Each structure stands twice: as C-alpha cells, then as structure tokens.
Amino acid sequence: MTIIYLLVFGFAATAILGLITSWIDRKVTARVQYRVGPPFLQPVYDLVKLLGKETLIPAGASKGIFLIAPVIGISGVIAVSTLFWVNQFFSEGFMGDWIVAIYLLTIPSISLILAGFASGNPLASLGASREMKLVIAYELPFILAALVPVISAHSIRLSTIIDSQAGGVFAGSISGILALIVAIMCVQAKLALVPFDIPEAETEIVEGPIVEYSGPGLAIFKLMKNMLFFILPFFLMILFFGGLRLNGINILWTLLEYVGIVAIITVIRNTNPRVRIDQAVRFFWGPMTLIAVVAVILALNGL
Amino acid sequence: MSLKLKALLKSPWVFHLSTGSCNNCDIETLDCLTPRFDIERFGMLLVGSIKHADVLLVSGSCNRMSVERMKALFEQVPKPCLVVAIGTCAGSRGIFKDSYNCPVPLDKIIPVDVYIPGCPPKPEAIIAGAVKLIEKVGGTL
C-alpha cells in the first residue's frame, strides 16, 4: 500500500500537477510581458528531451555526490508529497507529522547545495553558498508562520489541522492572514524565484548549483523544481485553507485558492528585481520574522 | 525519427556563442527573444550554461584566439546537438576572407547544420533559419 501511495500520489500525481503549474507560471509570465508563451505540453517536451541527452561529468567533480544529489532531492520531494496526499485523503497521519514535513521540505535545498559543491565549478560553489545563506534566512520566519495553524488547531497533526478548518479557514483570522503573507514570501524564496532567485541568478552566476548538470540529472532537478511548485502551494492550502476540499461547490473554491496562490507567486516574480543576499537575509530576519512573531502572539490569544 | 530527436526539436534550448563578431548579429539574435518575435512559442529558451544547450548559435568570423575556445565549448555540449551559423562572417568569413586573423571558415572547424546569411540577418531571417533547421532534421512546427 505504501508503494502505491509513493508512486501514484507521491510521484505521478504530484509530477503531473507540478508540470501543469510550471506551464501556468510560464504562460502567465509570457502574458505579463505581452508575449504568446509556450504551448501546453512544453514542460513535458523539455523533460523528455533532457532525459535523452548525454550526461557529462566535469573533470574536477566528485563523481558519486554529483550523480546522487538529484536523486536525494527528488526522493525528499516524493516523501513529503506522499505525506500531504495521505493526510489529505486517506488516513489520520501520525503525531508530529507537521515537523517531518518541515524537515523534508529542506531536503531539496540540501540536494542543491550538495550538487553545487560537488560540481567543482566556481559558479556552482558560489550558488551553493548563496543557497545555504538563503535557507538560513527563510527557515525561521517559515517555521514561525507554519506554527500559527498548529496553535489555532491545538494539534501538531496535519490531518487535525485540516479537519479543524471545516467550520472556517485559518486565513480568515488576523493571525492567519499575517502568517499567510509571511509564508508566501518564504515559498517564493524556497522556490528560488525572483526576487529571491539569488542562488541561481542566471545573469550573474549562470544557473548556480546546476550549472554543470546535463541530461537526466538536469531533468530530475527541473522535475524537482516543478513538483515543489505544486507542493508548496498545497502545503499553504493545508495550513491556511483547510486543504483540498473536493465536495460540491468547494471544488471551485479549492481551484480558485490554488490558482490564486500560484498567480500571486508568479506576479511577485514578474514585477520585482533580484535583491542581494544580504538584503534578503535582512528582509527575512527583520520585517518577516517580526510579522510572524506578531501572528504567533495573536494566535496564542485566540485571534 | 527517434523520440529523442523529436523532443529535442520541440524544445531546442539555444546557447549564444560569439567568435569575434562585431556584435550586430548578437543584438539581432537577442531580438528574437523580445515580445515582438517571442521564440518561446516554439519552446526555445536562451540558456546561460553550455551544458544545458541543444543548439549552438555561432556568430563572428572565427579568429585565431576564439577558435580554440570554440572547439573546447563544442566538446562540452551534451550530444545530440545542432549548430547554426548566424551572419555572413560565420557563414563564409565575409569581408575578412583574406584577413591574416581568420584562417578557416566555421564549417571547416565544427559541423554546421544551417547557415543564415545577412550582415546582420533580420530577426525574421533568424526565425526562418530556425524553422529550416527543424525541417531539415525532420520535424514539423
């Protein structure tokens, strides 16, 4: 049964929805810039093409870690998405799966850091070190923001958090909306999109940690990014909007909330310049942490 | 045609390589990415790293300094890959035919799939060249 959950929901469903999300992102970006944009199947073409290309290993690379890093990243993503799907539709989960989810969501960043340092390329090392600083910057406000639903639901289980929002979603309260704003900013940084695309800044350090990857390794990294683009909005929906509700008119609400979150992320990405790493750290440790702390205090007082 | 090649023609990521051109061809190449021409319609993206590239857009007259670098870069493109010569200089050395600094034309150094003449070629000509490239390998748009 676990295998079915992992392969069908954790991998296949998440990958398909992630590819669709990445198409939405590219299409909206194109429309913002008055372009036509790519066709619907473009992410699939990209993936199939990359799987058919040659794998080149740079001379100075540490071979084992270079090849295993993408696999580590995508297995972390599959594990965390399985956790979400199972909590959403099938079973109760277990005590403290919220903590496991927070841990597993950092695995993709760790795999990128490993990949960058194993490449033996100065640009990749620079990208990996920036990624590390960015992780340190956004983790604190992200955890604080994700703590607000836990306080409101009086439970550290994801399924209880979903169930306790049957009456009204947490995004409707003051603490919930403040935490949601912080969480969307942190998701932006977790996905490494503009203005927080500092680790892979294409115009400065080419593609950062994945500069030396080609063929299947690059395909797995791209798929990992696309799957994250589905999972992180899904996580926000579990925390603040009561998960995916598929009964009656709620299907429309679910769709609207999901597309809304993706559209907000895409519009932020298209209307901002890239910030420097010190500005990003100051932004997350300053205003964002402050707002998250205020949200936590409000949630403790039941607001 | 194999699935590999079919998918490659649906998403050719291009890498832009100047071998000592006067930058006119490079400017016209970048114009293809602007909203007016938008080659992302065909799945083309401009990539920064040679390891991610499928199509090499070469401009310039291949002078002695850049030929060595170009050979090194061509070896780093993951195969299968395609090469496009943009502009008269890359096609036939143009007015630098008798120059001491341009010993051989591009197609004597690396295999070229499509030539796009012009000094510089218009963005429309570059897009037409890309379409011819896809037709030559056997795909359809």
Q: Say whether residue B32 is in contact with chain A using an 8 A CB cutoff.
A: no
Give the model's pLDDT for residue A289.
92
Contact yes or no for A49 and B4 at CB 8 A:
yes
Contact yes or no for A56 and B48 at CB 8 A:
no
Give the model's pLDDT for residue B1.
63
Angle (CA) B20 B25 B31, round 5°: 140
Angle (CA) A140 A258 A19, round 5°: 95
ipTM of this complex prediction, to 2 decimal places: 0.85
Give the model's pLDDT for residue B139.
60
Q: Say whether residue B72 is in contact with chain A using an 8 A CB cutoff.
A: no
Q: Taking CA atoms, what residue in A is nearest to B15?
A: A206
User: Which residues partner with B59 through β-bridges?
Assistant: B18, B86
Give the model's pLDDT for residue B105.
83
- The CATH number that domain B3-137 falls under is 3.40.50.12280
Contact yes or no for A49 and B80 at CB 8 A:
no
DSSP H or E stretch at residue A157: none
Chain A interface, Cβ < 8 Å to B: 26, 30, 33-39, 41-42, 45-46, 48-49, 52-56, 202-203, 206-207, 211-215, 218
Contact yes or no for A55 and B4 at CB 8 A:
no
Contact yes or no for B11 and A212 at CB 8 A:
no
- Quote the tokens at residue B116: 């796009």
Q: Where are the beta strands (DSSP E) in chain A?
A: none
Taking only the tens place, the pLDDT of each residue in B8-37 is 788 888 888 888 888 888 888 888 888 888
Q: Taking CA atoms, what residue in B is nearest to A23?
A: B43
Contact yes or no for B40 and A211 at CB 8 A:
no
Amino acid at B67: V
Which residues in chain B have Cβ-Cβ distances shorter than 8 Å to A211? 48-49, 51
Q: Say whether residue B80 is in contact with chain A using an 8 A CB cutoff.
A: yes
Asked if residue A235 has pLDDT above 80, the reply is yes
Average pLDDT on A291-295 reads 91
- Quote the tokens at residue A174: 């003051």
Q: Say whether residue B65 is in contact with chain A using an 8 A CB cutoff.
A: no
Taking CA atoms, A169 is separated from A84, A212, A262, A299, B49, in Å, by: 18, 44, 19, 13, 45
Measure the CA–CA gap between A36 and B43, rounded to whole angstroms.
Answer: 11
Angle (CA) A267 A273 A276, round 5°: 130
Measure the CA–CA gap between A107 and A184, rounded to whole angstroms.
Answer: 19
Mean pLDDT, chain A, whole residue set: 87
Query: Nearest by CB to B11, which of A46, A55, A218?
Result: A46
Mean pLDDT in runs of 10 for chain B (141 residues)? Answer: 77 86 86 83 85 88 87 86 87 84 84 88 87 76 53
Contact yes or no for A36 and B54 at CB 8 A:
no
Asked if B37 and B31 count as a contact pair (C-beta separation under 8 A), the reply is yes
User: Which residues partner with B85 through β-bridges?
Assistant: B58, B115
Measure the CA–CA gap between A273 and A194, rounded to whole angstroms.
Answer: 7
pTM of structure:
0.89
Taking only the tens place, the pLDDT of each residue in A199-232 is 887 777 877 888 888 888 899 999 999 999 999 9
| Among A25, A49, A211, the residue to mutate for chain B (most B Cβ within 10 A) | A49
DSSP H or E stretch at residue A251: helix A250-270
Contact yes or no for B38 and A42 at CB 8 A:
no
In angstroms, the separation between the Cα of residue B101 and the nearest Cα of chain A is 31
Contact yes or no for A45 and B43 at CB 8 A:
yes
Contact yes or no for A207 and B35 at CB 8 A:
no
Asked if A43 and A23 count as a contact pair (C-beta separation under 8 A), the reply is yes
**Longest Cα separation, chain B:** 45
In angstroms, the separation between the Cα of residue B7 and the nearest Cα of chain A is 5
Quote the percentage of chain A above a pLDDT of 70: 100
Quote the percentage of chain A above a pLDDT of 90: 22
Taking only the tens place, the pLDDT of each residue in A65-94 is 989 999 999 999 999 998 888 888 877 777
Contact yes or no for B78 and A215 at CB 8 A:
yes
Taking only the tens place, the pLDDT of each residue in A252-272 is 888 888 888 888 899 898 888
Contact yes or no for B10 and A49 at CB 8 A:
yes
Taking alpha carbons only, the member of B39, B28, B44, B41 closest to residue B122 is B28
Q: Say whether residue B108 is in contact with chain A using an 8 A CB cutoff.
A: no
Give the model's pLDDT for residue A166.
77
Would you call A275 helix, strand, or coil by DSSP?
coil
Domain that holds residue A28: 2-300
CB atoms within 10 A of CB A264: 15
Number of domains in chain A: 1
User: Which residues partner with B46 through β-bridges?
Assistant: B14
Confidence band, pLDDT 50/70/90 cuts, at residue A157 = confident
